[in-house]
């Protein structure tokens, strides 16, 4: 399988998926994905996407809570 973006080779890997919901950053660790060795593009299987949505929007308690420093690159 090759990458849709750059044509590089994709390999099966576990990645950390992050999504920002309003003022909250949600992190899901150890998500299976195909990752491009060249540009880093990630592809998720449909069932993985469904589980991610259920995890992020669901009521499940997180395994742990991270404290996240936020920097503004545009700020002086
Ligand atoms: Zn690529």
Distance, CA 59 to ligand 1 centroid (Å)? Answer: 34
Region for residue 58 given its phi and psi (left: phi exceeds 0; alpha: psi -120 to 50; beta: otherwise):
beta
Question: How many A from CA of 10 to the centre of ligand 1?
Answer: 8
Share of the chain above pLDDT 70, in %: 100
pTM of the model: 0.84
- Write down the pLDDT at residue 76: 80
- Predicted pLDDT at 62: 94
For the stretch 18-53, pLDDT in tens is: 999 888 899 999 999 999 999 999 999 999 999 999
Give the pLDDT confidence score for residue 17 in this predicted structure. 96
Alpha-carbon distances of 1 from 12, 44, 60, rounded to whole Å: 10, 13, 34
Instruction: Look up residue 51 and give its DSSP letter.
Output: H
Q: What is the distance of C-alpha 43 from the center of its chain?
A: 10
Percent of the chain at pLDDT > 90 equals 87
DSSP 52-74: HHHHHHS-PPPS---------TT
Ligand 1 centre to CA of 73 (Å) is: 26
Q: Which residues neighbour 73 within 8 Å (Cβ) at sequence distance 6 or greater?
A: none
């Amino acid at each position: 399988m090759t990458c849709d973006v750059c044509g590089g080779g994709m390999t099966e890997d576990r990645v950390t998926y992050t999504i920002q919901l309003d003022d909250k950053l949600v992190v899901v660790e150890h998500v299976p994905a195909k990752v491009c060795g060249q540009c880093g593009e990630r592809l998720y299987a449909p069932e993985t996407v469904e589980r991610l949505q259920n995890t992020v929007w669901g009521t499940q308690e997180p395994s742990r809570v991270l404290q996240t420093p936020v920097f503004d690159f545009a700020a002086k």
